[in-house]
Amino acid sequence: MTRFATLLTTLAVLLGLAASAPAQDRARTKEVVVAFAAEPRTLLPDTIVDWTTNNMVEHMYDRLVDRDPKTYKPSPMLATGWKVVNDTTWEFALRRNVKFHNGEVFDAQSVKATMDYIKDPANKTHYLPRWALLKEVQIVNDYTVRFVTEKPWPGLIDRIAGSDFLPMPPKALKEQGAPALAAKPIGTGAFRFVQWVRDERLVVERNPDYWQTPAEASRVTFRFIPEFSARLAALLAGEIDIMKDVPPQNVEMLEKSGKARLRATVSSRINYLALVNLKPGPMQDLRVRKAIHAAVNVDELIQQVLKGRATKMCGSLSPINVDYSPKPQCLKHDPAQAQALFKEAGVDPTKLQLTLDTPSGRYPLDKDLSLAIAAQLQRVGIKTNVVVNEWGTHLDKIKNRTTGDMFFLGWGPALDAQNTIEQLFLGKQTYSSYGNNEALEAKINQAVTIVDPKKRLEAWAEIQQLVRDEVPWVFLWQQHDLYGVANWIEWTPRADERVWMYEAKLAR
Amino acid sequence: MTTFIARHGRGVLGLIIAALVLVAAVAAPVLVAQDPLRTDFAVGLKPPGTPGHPLGTDQLGRDLLARVLYGARVALFIGLCCVLLTAVVGGLAGLLAGYYEGWLGAVVMRVADVQLSFPFILLALTINAIVGLGLRNIIVSLSVAGWVVYARVVRGEVLSVKEREFVHAAQALGLGRARLLFRHILPNVAPSIVIVGSLQFAQFIVAEAAISFLGFGVQPPTPAWGSMLSESRDYLYVAWWLAAFPGAALALTALGINLVGDWLRDVLDPKFRV
Amino acid sequence: MRAYLLSRLGQTVLVVFLSLTAVFFLMRLGGDPVLLFLPMDIQAKDLNEFRERLGFNDPVAVQYGRFIGRAIRGDFGESLRYKQDALGLVLERLPATLYLAVAALGLTFLVAVPVGVLSAVRRGSLFDFFGMGAAVLGQAVPGFWLGLMLIYLFSVKLGWLPTGGTGSARHFVMPCVVLASFYAARMARITRSSVLDTLNEEFVLTARAKGLAERIVIAKHTLKNSAIPIVTLAGLDTGQLLGGAVITETIFAWPGLGRLTVQALLNRDFPVVLAAVFIFSVTYTLINLVVDLLYGWLDPRTRRERARA
């Protein structure tokens, strides 16, 4: 398009397009408006790993395997069933009578073409490393495929039950190419693409030929409002219907507004305070780590700062995690014990000077929580210097091991052990804070190869106990995802952070 | 009397305000009993008028009045440091560029052009993205972004002063270059440096607020009006006082200093134009 | 005249080139860009592979050479964050910011210049006092604070104006006011002082002595001459407005270039930052050129000097 034409188009868009109708009209026409802080990075599925992007892309594309919204165990979607054929082969039965938005039929060809797209380095997708263990997809017949892996990969089902595999239309992909598909998405999803005004809004409409009952919402508009208070203002003014991350202190006001109310869920995303033992320092002593954990009062943090909006954790995995073991006991808050442990380690807490790195605004009240933790440590005499980092710098520091003695981080969605424990407790992993424990490393490397489900759970249970005993973190909590939802919409948030308007029920 | 008010009224008002801010900054520990850094979750987000907290408390239970008063220190510190840094660096650059002209002048002006072509706030942000957060780094980035104005102004002034007779006379007398520059030209250029400084003082303080808004604020727990304003965004609808009082303090300080700056301009060099 | 224009063009190219070089090396100091654009559960070796493929493992000089070679052809590479051409992305967002900036500039002139002129003419009056008071406040109040207060009042409480986004003339109102407030305030004060100075100039006194009507004195003789600092400021400000719109665009969810650039800076999206810098320098130098040409028209002395130079 010529530059001049772009100029004119923009002006037309700025002035001509009607703004979103007010809430009452939208209730009648069943149009929902969801606000995100940023726009999608692309509309091509299987390309970029990003919560915001995938949430919007998955309105137009379906997963092969979904997660049950209550149990979070893998559940059928475009695949109706699966089984393990042998150590290195999984077989999936595909759903029949499913069509893409352009009329193409969904079948084994689509699955193979999508995996070929992901595995082709020229496409530079983020998902390539995640499917590294996969050798190829074999077509058995039109509605049966086999995933063949290089080595035994029992975690494949966890990998596939998410945004990591969203089938694309093979003919369109081949004939038009990925960029065309990015400009005009064609999936099997509950909604069809209408329009994307960059950095402003994305509009999708109901797919009447959806393979399940069509959605109640006739149209969904995603608006991109970067400033939190502007999002809240838009919700209160009735301009938008759903927004995420309402800070705990604003909940009461929201409920009293009469326009919207709070919908909360316990998230699979966890927060923790890493006690870094990867470099020389007081944190390399197990007793010091235990003492610090005893000095921090997690309950107080949850009650006073988060206003109760967090679920305490006793170990590295949360109950939502499929590999969770309830065995590890919670470490208690006990200042006296903390002092005793310090004494035993030969460390005088009043002479201790620690540094705590934290991001700001990345996780709910992360900065305030870090300051609160520092205040708690002060009670046993420890001086903590809280360093606030811009997000990129925070990640840089963790990766380069240049953070202080402690850092605040979150991780999620944490739905299985491999993606949590393997990522965070092996010294060589990018964002790990703990290492130098060969016994634990060996056990972890062993556990990821166990195919038998029962034995896997046992292995992970043992590892969780070991990790808890090593106190690599001050175990904090599972976040609560706080959504503001307009009164005329009935929608329950999911713990895996998927925002899917197909699940929204609208008031009549 | 009325002439005095008309001519100097605003300046006096500005001076009074500036003096108040100075007193608040210097005497903060005396004026207020609370520790601005002390957190107490039990009294978080209490409104003004709560016993012991005349202006209320923030989300961690810290006293707002104390934080506003101590914040004056940070504000004045930032303003002063930035002004001094930019005046010295920019003034020097302008002096040299204006006096020597030739390629030195051209280089300085080209660098200035390059810098000016990049919007101020984005330039400060870029620098902060590299050097990190914190009070010292904010001063660095604001100064780096701000010296250009001085260079331009001073150079312009030097160019015109250079043509004046007393300079020619001094040159004829064989006065050394350095001496000429610093003993004779500089004093004539000084008023414009002072004026620009006073005008920029308030701007630096307000710029800190902008940078904090974008996420590069002063490190906690140091109280700074700009970062306090930025943090207040999340509580805008439940704790209006967290935005109102630091905002008022900021606006008042900027007002006072701007008034003083205007008055200085009127008094020192009425024909001065930026 | 032609020689003058050519030399200015040459200077433009130089400034743009220097800006790009400076930012290119500055950004390299800011840390690893690849970290932010990849997911957190990436293995170290995959991270390195991405770096390799994107050319970040090459020596800086090589990367720079490659960058300049492509930039000359208008190729700034693909955005790290969005799968899209960087320059294309920047140019897509530019119009929105331009419209906002022009509207804000228009508002500035409409309000600030008359207020400034009147304040100068009625110096010492109540109008002068309140006018300049408002101006000083306008410069002192942080833009984002003003914006949030306006949203609260006009969108949430009164429901008259939308909280943000685009789509109608009403969407322009608050962003324009917030963006213009600082510049209008400054413009008003500069206008006032400039008019005051001109009013005292000899030729004005002469015109008055000749008995010309006050209005003609002001209109014909004063305005044109006092326009120079105003025009200078407007020129400087237009360049600043493009980036200064950052805060306004963030608060009002305005899909413009300022917001894109800040996000690109925070996300270490080098290609987009460099493309934005390119656009900023070109715009700035072009505006400067226009301003200088305007000088020639406003003040014939400048024209003669330029001809002599």
Which pLDDT does position C299 carry in this prediction?
A: 63
Q: Is the four-CA dihedral B25, B27, B33, B35 of positive or negative sign? A: positive
- CA pair distance B270, B263, nearest whole angstrom: 10
Closest partner residue to A431 (CB to CB) among C40, C99, C268 is C40
Name the residue range of residue B138's domain: 2-33+54-272
Percent of chain B scored above 90 by pLDDT?
7
Per-residue tokens: A177: 């190419």
What is the band of C11 on the pLDDT scale with cuts at 50, 70, 90? Answer: confident
Gap from B19 CA to chain A (nearest CA, Å): 33
Residue B257 belongs to some domain of the structure: yes
Residue A20 has pLDDT above 60, yes or no: no
Which pLDDT does position A6 carry in this prediction?
A: 60
Residue B39 belongs to some domain of the structure: no
CB contact under 8 A, B129 and C265: yes
Q: What is the mean pLDDT of chain A?
A: 90
> For the residues A311-330, what does the mean pLDDT come to?
90
CB contact under 8 A, A423 and C41: yes
Closest partner residue to C164 (CB to CB) among A225, A390, A396 is A225
Which pLDDT does position A482 carry in this prediction?
A: 94
Alpha-carbon torsion angle A482, A486, A489, A495, nearest 10: -10
Residue C135 has pLDDT above 60, yes or no: yes
Q: For residue A361, which residues of chain B lie inside 8 Å, CB to CB?
A: 215
- CA pair distance A7, B45, nearest whole angstrom: 47
Most confident of the following: A431-440, B214-223, C40-49: A431-440
**Alpha-helical segments (H) within B163-224:** 165-172, 177-179, 186-213
Which pLDDT does position A264 carry in this prediction?
A: 93
Residue A191 has pLDDT above 60, yes or no: yes
Q: Is A221 helix (H, G, I), strand (E, B) or coil?
A: strand
Q: Tell me which of A5-9, A94-98, C191-195, C250-254 is least confident.
A: A5-9
Residue A212 has pLDDT above 90, yes or no: yes
Residues C231-245: pLDDT tens digits? 766 766 776 777 668
Q: For residue B217, which residues of chain A lie inside 8 Å, CB to CB?
A: 388
- CA pair distance B225, B73, nearest whole angstrom: 10
Which pLDDT does position C309 carry in this prediction?
A: 47
- CA pair distance A333, B272, nearest whole angstrom: 66
CB contact under 8 A, A399 and C35: yes
**Backbone angle region of B254, left / alpha / beta, with phi > 0 → left and psi within -120 to 50 → alpha:** alpha
pTM of this structure: 0.87
Q: Cβ contacts of residue A47 below 8 Å, gap of 6+?
A: A123, A125, A126, A127, C83
- Domain tally for chain B? 1
Which of B126, B219, B228, B237 to probe by mutation at the A interface, max A CB count within 10 Å?
Answer: B237
Which pLDDT does position A243 carry in this prediction?
A: 95
Residue B70 belongs to some domain of the structure: yes
Tokens 């402690």 found at? A406
Closest partner residue to B234 (CB to CB) among A228, A386, A389 is A228
Closest-CA residue in chain A for B133? Answer: A389
Q: Is B38 helix (H, G, I), strand (E, B) or coil?
A: coil
Gap from B129 CA to chain C (nearest CA, Å): 6
Q: Is C12 helix (H, G, I), strand (E, B) or coil?
A: helix
> For the residues A488-501, what does the mean pLDDT come to?
91
Which pLDDT does position B274 carry in this prediction?
A: 46
Residue B44 belongs to some domain of the structure: no
Contact A294, A335 (CB under 8 A): yes
B117: domain CATH number? Answer: 1.10.3720.10
> For the residues C172-190, what does the mean pLDDT come to?
87
Q: For residue B265, which residues of chain C lie inside 8 Å, CB to CB?
A: 193
Tokens 């064609």 found at? A186
Q: Cβ contacts of residue B23 below 8 Å, gap of 6+?
A: none
> For the residues A324-334, what does the mean pLDDT come to?
90
Which pLDDT does position B6 carry in this prediction?
A: 65
Which pLDDT does position A13 carry in this prediction?
A: 63
Contact A289, A471 (CB under 8 A): yes
- CA pair distance A263, A242, nearest whole angstrom: 10
* Contact status of B117 with chain C (Cβ, < 8 Å): yes
> For the residues A401-430, what does the mean pLDDT come to?
89
Q: Cβ contacts of residue C231 below 8 Å, gap of 6+?
A: C291, C294, C295, C298
Residues A214-271: pLDDT tens digits? 999 999 999 999 888 889 999 998 899 999 988 888 898 899 988 899 999 999 899 9
Q: Tell me which of A198-207, A286-295, B113-122 is least confident.
A: B113-122
Closest-CA residue in chain B for C282? Answer: B117
Q: Cβ contacts of residue A52 below 8 Å, gap of 6+?
A: A36, A37, A38, A39, A40, A41
Chains that touch C (3 or more CB pairs under 8 A): A, B
Quote the Cα angle for B123-B128-B129, to 5°. Answer: 95
Contact B120, C244 (CB under 8 A): yes
* Contact status of A197 with chain B (Cβ, < 8 Å): no
Residue C294 has pLDDT above 90, yes or no: no
Residue A18 has pLDDT above 60, yes or no: no
Gap from C167 CA to chain B (nearest CA, Å): 26
Q: Is C125 helix (H, G, I), strand (E, B) or coil?
A: coil
CB contact under 8 A, C40 and A393: no
- CA pair distance A53, A71, nearest whole angstrom: 24
What is the band of A43 on the pLDDT scale with cuts at 50, 70, 90? Answer: very high
> For the residues C97-101, what does the mean pLDDT come to?
88
CB contact under 8 A, A200 and C148: no
Closest partner residue to B235 (CB to CB) among A249, A360, A386 is A249
CB contact under 8 A, C142 and B130: no
Residue B47 belongs to some domain of the structure: no
Higher pLDDT: B179 or C21? It is: C21
Gap from C17 CA to chain A (nearest CA, Å): 23
Alpha-carbon torsion angle B156, B162, B166, B171, nearest 10: 150
Which of A235, A302, A388 to probe by mutation at the B interface, max B CB count within 10 Å?
Answer: A388
Q: Looking at this predicted complex, what is its ipTM?
A: 0.83
Gap from B179 CA to chain C (nearest CA, Å): 30
Rounded (to 5) percent helix, strand, coil in chain B: 75, 0, 25
Which pLDDT does position A470 carry in this prediction?
A: 92
Residue C163 has pLDDT above 80, yes or no: yes
Contact C178, C147 (CB under 8 A): yes
CB contact under 8 A, B44 and A247: no
Closest partner residue to A368 (CB to CB) among B60, B129, B236 is B60
Residue B45 belongs to some domain of the structure: no
Closest partner residue to A199 (CB to CB) among C36, C152, C255 is C255
- CA pair distance A405, A274, nearest whole angstrom: 8
Q: What is the mean pLDDT of chain C?
A: 81
**Alpha-helical segments (H) within chain C:** 2-29, 34-37, 44-54, 60-72, 86-121, 126-140, 143-150, 170-199, 202-209, 214-216, 224-251, 257-266, 270-298, 300-308
> For the residues A34-40, what does the mean pLDDT come to?
92
Contact A104, A113 (CB under 8 A): no
> For the residues A453-468, what does the mean pLDDT come to?
92
Cβ within 8 Å of A, C 252-271: 252-253, 255, 259-260, 263, 266-268
CB contact under 8 A, B41 and A390: no
> For the residues A376-405, what does the mean pLDDT come to?
90
Residues C185-212: pLDDT tens digits? 888 887 887 777 777 665 666 766 776 6
Higher pLDDT: C239 or A172? It is: A172
Which pLDDT does position C202 carry in this prediction?
A: 58
CB contact under 8 A, A395 and C165: no
> For the residues C210-233, what does the mean pLDDT come to?
66
Residue B41 belongs to some domain of the structure: no
- C89 to A42, A177, A374, B91: CA distances (angstroms): 13, 20, 43, 39
Percent of chain A scored above 70 by pLDDT?
96
Q: Cβ contacts of residue A212 below 8 Å, gap of 6+?
A: A190
Closest-CA residue in chain A for C158? Answer: A237
Which pLDDT does position A4 carry in this prediction?
A: 62
What is the band of B172 on the pLDDT scale with cuts at 50, 70, 90? Answer: confident
Q: For residue B225, which residues of chain C lie inside 8 Å, CB to CB?
A: none
> For the residues A59-78, what does the mean pLDDT come to?
91
Alpha-carbon torsion angle A364, A365, A366, A369, nearest 10: -130
- CA pair distance C212, A384, nearest whole angstrom: 75
* Contact status of B247 with chain C (Cβ, < 8 Å): yes
Q: For residue B209, which residues of chain C lie inside 8 Å, CB to CB?
A: 142, 144-145
Cβ within 8 Å of C, A 252-311: none
Which of A52, A127, A225, A227 to probe by mutation at the C interface, max C CB count within 10 Å?
Answer: A227
- B160 phi, psi to nearest 5 deg: -80, -35
Most confident of the following: A340-344, B210-214, B229-233: A340-344
Which pLDDT does position B31 carry in this prediction?
A: 79
What is the band of A1 on the pLDDT scale with cuts at 50, 70, 90? Answer: very low
Which pLDDT does position A19 carry in this prediction?
A: 52
Kind of pairing between the strands at A353-359 and A383-389: parallel
Gap from B25 CA to chain C (nearest CA, Å): 19
What SS3 string covers A267-315? Answer: EEEEEEEEECCCCCCHHHCHHHHHHHHHHCCHHHHHHHHCCCCEEECCC
Q: Cβ contacts of residue B164 below 8 Å, gap of 6+?
A: none
Residue B140 belongs to some domain of the structure: yes
- CA pair distance B273, C17, nearest whole angstrom: 31
Closest partner residue to B122 (CB to CB) among C148, C233, C246 is C246
Kind of pairing between the strands at A353-359 and A406-411: parallel
- CA pair distance C34, C255, nearest whole angstrom: 25
